[in-house]
Amino acid sequence: MTTFPSAFTVDAREDGERRIIAVAGPDGQRRAYELPGNSQQNYAAFFGELARDFGTRIPHVLDAPAEHPRPSLRWRPLLTENIHPQILAGYGDPAVLKTDTGYYLVATSNDAPDAFPILHSDDLQHWRHAGFVFPDGQQPGWAATGRSVADFWAPEMARAGDEYWLCFTARQQSNALAIGLARSSSPEGPWIDNGAPLITGKPIDTTGLGLDPAKPRMSGGVIDSHIFVDGNGDRYLFWKDDTNGIWPRPLAMLLRREPQLVDRLFATEADRRTGRFAAAIVSWANQRRPMERFFLMQPLIEAVLANWRRVKPQLEASGDAGAIVDAMTTPIKARRLADDGRSLVGEERTVLTNDLDWEGHLIEGPFVTCADGRYWLFYAGNDFASPAYGIGVAVADHPLGPYVKQGEPLLRSTYEWVAPGHASVAPGLDGRPQLFFHAFHPGTGGYNAFRALLTVGLEFRDGRARVTELA
């Protein structure tokens, strides 16, 4: 009989915001942990203690600083701290729009009471807080609200005729992520939501995912919407199908059913123990709220990404993992927007998927701009909370593609800034294009951790996009 010496048993319970997790590991050692809260940072600290006691993977934010290279050019920091007490997590997923009255920035707010901070600047150096898209109590009626319940992600403004349109992600009352659209006569609002989501997640076939087929589930949802207005006035909506949110728990459940897969998927003992711990705690994770499930599976995600070239072929060879492998492919989709911004028209297209090693299990955060007579789609790849996250670009002759990737990322982690991602493009003060994006301070990361706003120059030449240092 095959034995697995690093198998775990877990007894977990909640007590208000606290989590008490009792772990029994190899050789009979036991340890109980008390988490003071249910944030990603609380779980990272727990997994750090678990690694010390049981030899699992150390979360990257607690590990010794990674050997990231010096940047080939300097990224210019624009916002490196919260400038208003109601802005709680910085400037993740930053969307910068240049208007006749200066620059406007909107950013992710996660579960903060006030959704989507709006900032204004005349010179990209001095910023004024101009309010929130949806102040506390004024969120769309279809969206879930409240700390540890709501998720308001990736807003973006665009000028559409005489109006400003803002697309965004919010979590529905059902917990599924959806994309909404609001409109205003001014970038500073007030913003009026359409009254219902523009796109919602679609039911998925749970066969092969280890989920209960008697309980309908949605896909990972739809996130990271982007409105592109072409020179002829045509409007397109781009978004990501968030399928990467589907596979971690089913993979942990597969490892629970077929523990012999662990040694085939993971090269190091730490990652093997991480896989076995995920298999032990997944039943409890299945009962948590959506983001807490993600926090519990984060070490498994990091282990999978560290073994990416090994994991996918092994799962593809497994007869029980086809649906898991499918969920590791995240499409960026696009479709024409109706002139009134209340529906989508025409054919839905998949314009990009993750097919390069550096992208890992996902691409997201699309943003299209037109330059040099072509269409350039900037996107982020890999896990947003890890140093492997970076910014890539693809080019096409039509907004709906086909797009050809440049291959290597334009920006990736350096010793100064970690996990650059979710870029937007706007003209700088000199009229030349600039790339605006977020990044973590070294040694930090995760949901509700502060993300700074940074920028670099852009140039398009000889069929390629390049980043440049600003004077």
Give the residue ranges of DSSP H helices in 307-392: 308-317, 322-327
| pLDDT, tens digit (0-9, with 9 covering 90-100), for 91-127 | 999 999 999 999 999 999 999 999 999 999 999 999 9
| pLDDT, tens digit (0-9, with 9 covering 90-100), for 255-308 | 999 999 999 999 999 999 999 999 999 999 999 998 999 999 999 999 999 999
Q: What is the dihedral sign for C-alpha 175, 177, 179, 181?
A: positive
* Closest to 261 in 3D by CA, of 210, 205, 330: 210
Place of tokens 């003992």: 269
Report the distance separating Cα 108 and Cα 87, nearest Å.
Answer: 10
| pLDDT, tens digit (0-9, with 9 covering 90-100), for 331-369 | 999 999 999 999 999 999 999 999 999 999 999 999 999
Average pLDDT of span 86-94: 98
302: which strand partners?
none
The more confidently predicted of residues 45 and 70 is 45
- Per-residue pLDDT, 4: 43
Report the distance separating Cα 23 and Cα 28, nearest Å.
Answer: 10
User: Is the pLDDT at 222 greater than 90, yes or no?
Assistant: yes
Report the distance separating Cα 47 and Cα 54, nearest Å.
Answer: 10
- Per-residue pLDDT, 68: 78
User: Is the pLDDT at 2 greater than 50, yes or no?
Assistant: no
- Per-residue pLDDT, 219: 56
- pLDDT-derived band at 28 (thresholds 50, 70, 90) equals confident
| pLDDT, tens digit (0-9, with 9 covering 90-100), for 390-439 | 999 999 999 999 999 999 999 999 989 999 999 999 999 999 999 999 99
Report the distance separating Cα 268 and Cα 272, nearest Å.
Answer: 6
- pLDDT-derived band at 319 (thresholds 50, 70, 90) equals confident
* Closest to 95 in 3D by CA, of 105, 103, 87, 86: 105
- Per-residue pLDDT, 3: 38
* Residue 150 structure tokens: 């709501």
- Per-residue pLDDT, 340: 96
Count of CB atoms situated within 10 Å of the CB of 123: 9
| Under 8 Å between Cβ of 14 and 24 | no
